């Protein structure tokens, strides 16, 4: 999914892996020291966009809402399911920080592999999950001649409203 965040009036978007959807919202995991996490700490609102071009007519879903950190137990549980290489990478990467050259990163990976040789890799304290709690969800269905169908669901108090939008 595309995740859009903002900081100091500047919007930033990137692709992240959706790891779950439930009644709370849309979950993803990352380094809490990354640019996206710093942006979310400053402005805990985000937008998500999903696009399925190859479905009949093409489908897009847009989500907006507040962002909350997930608890340690949920982050621990997901981290334990990750491939060992991904776990090592979570420790080794200083995500979004400048990197002199690839050899520096590979040396960090090797050091972390030595540190956890023969043991399970614990979740780093700087890594965990977020949930985007939606207050707006728009479904966009592509149609010929750009005569798309758009349906917006918006949270008003405790109730969801439904409204058609012009394309």
Q: Out of 102, 114, 146, 162, which one is annotated catalytic? A: 146
Other residues' Cβ atoms within 10 Å of the Cβ of residue 155: 14
d(CA 160, CA 116): 48
Binned at pLDDT 50, 70 and 90, residue 129 comes out as very high
Residue-range domains of the chain with CATH: 2-139 (2.30.110.10)
Q: Is 10 a catalytic residue?
A: no
Report pLDDT for 62: 98
Binned at pLDDT 50, 70 and 90, residue 53 comes out as confident
Report pLDDT for 99: 93
- What sign has the CA pseudo-torsion 83, 87, 92, 93? positive
Helix (H, G, I), strand (E, B) or coil at 57: coil
Helix (H, G, I), strand (E, B) or coil at 131: strand
pLDDT-above-70 percentage for the chain: 100
Q: What is the pTM of this model?
A: 0.91
């Amino acid at each position: 999914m595309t995740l859009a965040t903002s900081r100091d009036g500047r919007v930033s978007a990137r692709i992240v892996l959706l790891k779950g959807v439930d009644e709370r919202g849309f979950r993803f995991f990352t380094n809490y020291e990354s640019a996206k996490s710093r942006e979310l700490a400053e402005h805990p609102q985000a937008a998500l966009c999903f696009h399925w071009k190859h479905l009949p007519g093409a489908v897009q879903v847009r989500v907006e809402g507040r962002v909350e950190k997930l608890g340690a137990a949920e982050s621990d549980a997901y981290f334990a399911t990750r491939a060992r290489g991904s776990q090592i990478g979570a420790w080794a990467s200083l995500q979004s920080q400048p990197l002199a050259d690839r050899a520096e990163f590979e040396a960090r990976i090797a050091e972390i592999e030595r540190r956890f040789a023969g043991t399970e890799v614990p979740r780093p304290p700087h890594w965990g999950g977020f949930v985007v709690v939606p207050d707006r969800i728009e479904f966009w269905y592509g149609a010929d001649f750009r005569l798309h169908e758009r349906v917006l669901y918006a949270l008003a108090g405790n109730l969801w409203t439904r409204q058609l939008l012009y394309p």
